Amino acid sequence: MYYNNKDVRAEEMPVPKIGAGELLVKVMASGICGSDVMEWYRIKKAPRVLGHEIAGQVVEAGAGVKNFRTGDRVFVSHHVPCNTCYYCLNGHHTACDTLHSTNYDPGGFAEYLRVPQINVDNGGVFILPDAMSYEEGTFIEPLACVVRGQRLAQVKPGKTVLVIGSGISGLIHIALARALGAGRIIATDISEYRLNAARRFGADSVINAKEDVQKHVLELNGNRLADIVIVCAGALAASTAALRCADRGGTILFFAVPEPEVLVPVPMNDMWRNQTTLITSYGASPLDIEISFSLMRNQRVVLNDMITHRLPLSEGAKGFQLVADAKDSIKVIFEPHSNG
């Protein structure tokens, strides 16, 4: 149960009761997302059970469920679009009101969760391949979000990609850009631990963000800036650095953004003259999840080595602190049924 980043408690709750069309899933692995420790984003709904990167086993299927049965190993998406509104029909599934309001009960950091009928019916439940572990299943949702972002930013073979922020989302962006054939991948961070991780997972070069990032990008890229800049850190400095590092005709993808009250000063005249494209990306649609599944199933993107900590729910406070501190961890997952 999340109260704030420094107050996360293991509490007893009844196992959810399911109705017709619903599933009861035993959570076997659940990843902590960077957004889970964005206190400004989460605290307004506290106390609550967070967690949305889960894989588990169906232990009960409600009346009328046809495509899933007891014993199935599944990944469950917490948000699903309606697939029929104006936004869905125009490809903006993650702007759909239904997607913003759907979730499972009580959240992924629990031993069991109830999957509502709309999630079951609208592309929110996927059977895991036999060769895919529950741990690997926790990466399906974060990779799907990255897939969506890079699809919108049009990451293509030969492009120079600059990833600002080498936390878990930045590292997944690096891994996917490498799989998509990016010509040169440059990563930044203020943490040497994370810069070393960026090298391991596919970055050609790394830059300490405390230095002059624009100058180093020019040196590394033949006196050109980056074709695509991906912002994976919420600090204002990350956004302003991105605006200085895109080449003419380039694209800046804001995958992470500052807090709501923080305004980003955009040099609009420069953007106009240089034909710079600014885009955002939030969440993932069922299509993005299908692509994520395919990439992982075919070993095009391998992310399991990013897991640095595996914890029982009783160590929830430790898990949140590890992710919030952003020092010596990459991916932290809970194993609700472990005896650790």
Rounded CA-CA distance 128/330 in Å is: 24
Assess whether 7 and 116 both reside in one domain.
yes
Assess whether 165 and 231 both reside in one domain.
yes
Assess whether 160 and 132 both reside in one domain.
no
CB-CB contact of 253 with 228 (8 Å): yes
Residue 37 scores a pLDDT above 90: no
Tell me what pLDDT residue 339 has.
Answer: 63
Share of the chain above pLDDT 70, in %: 99
Assess whether 19 and 107 both reside in one domain.
yes
Q: 282: buried, middle or exposed (CB in 10 Å: 19+, 13-18, 0-12)?
A: middle
In a domain, 101, yes or no: yes
Assess whether 160 and 129 both reside in one domain.
no
Tell me what pLDDT residue 167 has.
Answer: 95
**CATH number of the structural domain spanning residue 150:** 3.40.50.720
pLDDT averaged over every residue in the chain: 96
Assess whether 46 and 167 both reside in one domain.
no
Assess whether 56 and 84 both reside in one domain.
yes
Residue range 50-104, pLDDT digits in tens: 999 999 999 999 999 999 999 999 999 999 999 999 999 999 999 999 999 999 9
In a domain, 298, yes or no: no
Give the confidence band of 338 by pLDDT, cuts at 50, 70, 90.
confident
3-state helix, strand, coil in the chain (%, to 5): 35, 25, 40
Our count of domains for the chain comes to: 2
Q: Which domain holds residue 227?
A: 144-280
Residue range 201-251, pLDDT digits in tens: 999 999 999 999 999 999 999 999 999 999 999 999 999 999 999 999 999
In a domain, 296, yes or no: no
Positive or negative torsion for Cα 283, 285, 291, 294: positive
- Residue 37 has, within 13 A of its CA and on its CB side, a CA count of 23
Cα 68 off chain centre by: 26
In a domain, 289, yes or no: no
Q: Which residues contact 254 (CB under 8 A, 6 or more apart)?
A: 231, 239, 242, 278, 279, 280, 281
Assess whether 148 and 265 both reside in one domain.
yes
Residue range 126-147, pLDDT digits in tens: 999 999 999 999 999 999 999 9
CB-CB contact of 31 with 332 (8 Å): yes
Rounded CA-CA distance 50/53 in Å is: 10
CB-CB contact of 330 with 15 (8 Å): no
Assess whether 23 and 89 both reside in one domain.
yes
Residue 340 scores a pLDDT above 60: no
Give the confidence band of 43 by pLDDT, cuts at 50, 70, 90.
confident
Tell me what pLDDT residue 61 has.
Answer: 97
Residue 34 scores a pLDDT above 70: yes
Residue 198 scores a pLDDT above 80: yes
**CATH number of the structural domain spanning residue 327:** 3.90.180.10
In a domain, 286, yes or no: no
In a domain, 257, yes or no: yes
Partners of 228 in beta bridges = 161, 251
In a domain, 149, yes or no: yes
Assess whether 100 and 162 both reside in one domain.
no
Tell me what pLDDT residue 139 has.
Answer: 97
Assess whether 242 and 317 both reside in one domain.
no
CB-CB contact of 24 with 76 (8 Å): no
Assess whether 159 and 106 both reside in one domain.
no
In a domain, 285, yes or no: no
